Amino acid sequence: MATVEASLAGQASAVKVNRPKLTLWRVFIWIVLVVGAVIMLMPFVWMISSSLKAEQQVFQYPPRLLPDPPMWSNYVEALVYKPFGLYIRNTAFLVGVNMLAVLLASSFCAYGFARITFPGRDFWFVIVLATMMMPYYVLMVPIFIMFTRLGWIDTYLPLTVPTFFGGGAFNIFLMRQFFRTIPQELSDAARIDGCNEFQIYWTIFMPLAKPALVSIAILAFLGTWNDFVGPLLYIKSPDLFTVSIGLAGFRSIMRSRWDLLMAASTAMTIPVIALFFAAQRYFFESGGITLTGLK
């Protein structure tokens, strides 16, 4: 009995000794994270600050973070000089179509690779992954020639139709890995109830895959919103310009007006920031899928 009490006392003292070390380590980690967050946020904060400054205050020395007074008219002047409202509507249309296409196509292909057994399944999945090693700029010329012969130049077809065919190798890989975490018992129970494969995919797997779908939707949104090469290659009419093309044209005209450049850049960045904060709960969500499905 005395030996057991001595052992427990020794363990308690060890815990007391280790607890301060653990607390200090957590404090150090928090300090590193806070410093890193401040460093990462400074360019964005400086962009917002410069967008509200007068032209002569942008490069004044010593620099001032807070504008005095805030020039809200910079946003009005920047967004009126170019038809950014039209550019935003065009980009929003492309974003909506591509997000829908990527989510449906990638999840559908991923379900086949994850749950349906067919000859050469693993081989074809490796081929899909191998396409990720092919740079886009290597295929840019032959793809442009193909779309030219199809008569798709100066339309949105080259920027939307390809996304319906698979949705991207990385998205297929991500959805496949997520689908593999869902218990097989759910599929078996659905088959006993008379569901076919499409019903299992649509009514069981898709609702459970919400975190992965939101992650892919955010990536698709960012890829389409920030795409510059695609619209530059295929779009010629100013009425079809996207945000990236419009912002590049605005930058070429307003080379010396950094206050207006920062205002336009901030306005075009706000939708991305808003989407991220609105969907971050699903974007960072992990685990719990197995328990949720069985429940």
Report H helices in 116-196.
121-130, 136-150, 157-160, 169-179, 184-192
| Contacts of 66 by beta carbon, 8 Å cutoff, 6+ apart | 49
Output the six-digit token pair for 166. Answer: 């698979």
Q: Is 128 a residue whose pLDDT tops 90?
A: yes
Q: Is 292 a residue whose pLDDT tops 50?
A: no
Measured from the Cβ of residue 178, the count of other Cβ atoms closer than 10 Å reads 22
CA distance 223 to 218: 9
Q: Of 186, 31, 159, whose CA–CA distance to 101 is shortest?
A: 159
Give the pLDDT score at 10.
Answer: 56
Q: Is 1 a residue whose pLDDT tops 80?
A: no
The whole model's pTM is what? 0.80
CA distance 209 to 13: 46
Work out the average pLDDT over 114-133: 92
Give the pLDDT score at 69.
Answer: 83
CA distance 190 to 196: 8
CA distance 282 to 276: 10
Terminal C-alpha separation, the chain: 45
Measured from the Cβ of residue 242, the count of other Cβ atoms closer than 10 Å reads 29
Q: pLDDT digits over 212-238, tens only? A: 898 899 889 999 999 999 999 999 999
Architecture of the structural domain at 73-294: Orthogonal Bundle (1.10)
Give the pLDDT score at 3.
Answer: 56
Q: Is 12 a residue whose pLDDT tops 60?
A: no
Q: Is 289 a residue whose pLDDT tops 80?
A: no
